[in-house]
Structure 1
Amino acid sequence: MILFVFLTAKYPEIKSLMKPDPNLIWIILMMVFIQLVAFYLVKDLDWKWVVFWAYVFGSCINHSMTLAIHEIAHNFTFGHHKTLWNRWFGMVANLPIGVPYSISFKRYHMDHHRYLGADGIDVDIPTDFEGWFFCTTFRKFVWVILQPLFYAFRPLFINPKPISNLEIINTMVQITFDILVYYILGIKSLIYMLAATLLGLGLHPISGHFIAEHYMFLKGYETYSYYGPLNLLTFNVGYHNEHHDFPNVPGKNLPLVRKIAAEYYDNLPHYNSWVKVLYDFVMDDTISPYSRMKRPPKGQEVLE
């Protein structure tokens, strides 16, 4: 908050960037349509090609869609005055992913912004078991592959919340969609959809952002930005210092935040390759799921 006040006072033009991005609506609808076409195109392929295209193509779309849902969670599609519109649209964006995700992500992601690194609140922090067990090169490699499963089930152990009505609706809508895909297009289309999500959020170049964002490769720096080309597929989620400093600025405008406040952001450590981040995480013995800043809920910071 102090940094927000300081930068907006020094660079008041940043405030003009805090507005919805209605173009997101059409981009997301186009992505949903592209995956629907892909479901149709893979329905009669050999299994090896179903898996191949799930990883090479579908994984990119589905991972990108999770980051579209991230934009929707911040109400960047319809604005803060139409919060329910954003929640319903999030369910539409959720469809190609295959598992209900949008509403729950919104609830937990806001905690991540308000209580970054807070033990027992921020479910982005790996559990003690993850840090203890996935500590060797091979085990960290397995952990990277299984990241989507840990992100799905970790909230149930760290910070379980009562199920909301919107989460029930999100689940019912998603299950209905999955059944329709199966009955209309067949099992291969359904497997393509689910495999694209599992593979895209696991060992995949885009998944480097999971580790790049908050794992402390350099002591004293908790959040890192990425300025490479994959931002084009991820709604600029790589501009992560900028995003946490200005969570009301949509991804489209985050490069402008960096440009305006260049004297601040250009001097911070950052990445240009998410693939290298994944490689370094697996191969560097000094980095593990424990390499996160964890704060007791009342404030004192400790590095695991």
Structure 2
Amino acid sequence: MNCKQQFSWSDECEPHKLRTKKILSQHPEIRELIGRNPYTFLIILLCVALQSTIAYFLRDSYWWLVFVLAYFVGAFADHTLFVCIHESSHNLIFKKRGLNTVAGFIANLPLIFASYSSFKKYHLKHHAFQGIEALDADMPSYWEAKLVGNSTIKKALWLLFYPIAQASRLTRMNKEVKLFDKEMLLNWLLQIIYVGAVYYFCGWKGIVFQLGSFFFSVGLHPLGARWVQEHFLTDGEQETKSYYGPLNVVNLNVGFHNEHHDFPSVPWHNLPKIKKIANEHYDCLASHTSYTKLLFKFLFCRELSVFSRMARSNKGKSVTKVAAAIEVSA
């Protein structure tokens, strides 16, 4: 079977703000779920402490144990930290923007590379311009999808090195987003200090443990299937799908992805409540319940590839419709 060589294309704006308008007209009580969750900061501190402690105790251990713990423990802690960075980017931890930035910087520490500052800038664009390549860093480039094709090995490598693939997309947004600024420099400075401390106290095994945890947490791991779950066309033309499985405990409910895109101002602990209140709008949508099953489906199904995404180029139309929906639902 030949691999699909093009993205699917839509002339409509992203679907979420229009659904938000409809849901709020029927369930205005959902507005009460908007807010912040300062307890997320405690989760950040716990995960940072866990990753740092494991790195310290691995300094004189076997190399095989370094990778085993990175895959089965570190990946989960780092994935939780990524979600905390996500919450910070939406200012869903504290009321003050500066405190959310501090939380994001701290959550970033065990992830080795400075990613909080850039993620915050590009992720908010993703919500407004879903599927528009020039503005959505979550949207793969044509050359990226073409390079990977439908080869199981290439798809596995693409997932394994997903952070590199995503970073390669940022240059196309230079005209819209200023990447390098004081916050980015501070982000890198803090990472350099932290990595230096890990090397001093934990040696190379501590560094490798945290690098492994980082790449496994978003790559070739059941948790990495989250990137396929969120916006890949794995079942028809529905471009956003939620995950209702046990790993939402680690994901801090970010698996409720339709709910999050519909109501990005609702913190993670309230996302299941959105589905419960407006269940008639979500029960009819396709969803996933197993990241492991989805991971193997993506890797071995030749009908699925990086081209299995919905793309759109009508920026003006998207902006107009989304703005109209926001105005009505505000």
Question: TM range, normalised to the smaller chain?
Answer: over 0.9
Structure 2 alignment gaps of length 5 or more: 1-16, 319-330
Tell me which residue corresponds to 1:227: 244
Residues 84-112 of structure 1: per-residue CA shift (max 9 Å, x gap):
11112100111111110111100000000
**Partner SS state of residue 229, structure 1:** coil
AA aligned to 1:204 is H
The CA deviation at 1:39 is 1.5
AA aligned to 2:121 is R
Alignment of 1:1-304 (within 5 A): 1-79=17-95, 82-135=96-149, 136-156=151-171, 158-160=172-174, 161-162=177-178, 163-298=180-315
Instruction: Output the CA distance in 2 between the equivalents of 1:77 and 1:97.
Output: 19
Instruction: Output the CA distance in 2 between the equivalents of 1:75 and 1:113.
Output: 14
AA aligned to 1:118 is I
AA aligned to 2:43 is I
**Partner SS state of residue 267, structure 1:** coil
CA 1:28/1:295 → structure 2, altered by over 3 Å: closer, same or farther?
Answer: same
- RMSD across aligned C-alpha pairs, in angstroms? 1.4
> Does structure 2 retain, via aligned residues, the 8 Å contact 1:120–1:297?
no
Decide which moves more: 228-237 or 284-293: 284-293
The CA deviation at 1:154 is 2.2
CA 1:299/1:212 → structure 2, altered by over 3 Å: closer, same or farther?
Answer: farther
User: When the two structures are aligned, how many residues end up with a matched partner?
Assistant: 298
AA aligned to 1:146 is F
Residues 115-161 of structure 1: per-residue CA shift (max 9 Å, x gap):
111121101111112211211222222212221221233213x2234
> Does structure 2 retain, via aligned residues, the 8 Å contact 1:68–1:234?
no
AA aligned to 2:156 is F
The CA deviation at 1:20 is 0.2
Instruction: Output the CA distance in 1 between the equivalents of 2:27 and 2:241.
Output: 22
Instruction: Output the CA distance in 2 between the equivalents of 1:137 and 1:241.
Output: 28
Q: Sequence identity of aligned pairs in percent?
A: 36
Residues 233-287 of structure 1: per-residue CA shift (max 9 Å, x gap):
0111110000000000111111000000011111111000111111111222221
Structure 1 alignment gaps of length 5 or more: none
The CA deviation at 1:297 is 4.3
**TM-score of the superposition, structure 2-length normalised?**
0.87
CA 1:295/1:58 → structure 2, altered by over 3 Å: closer, same or farther?
Answer: same
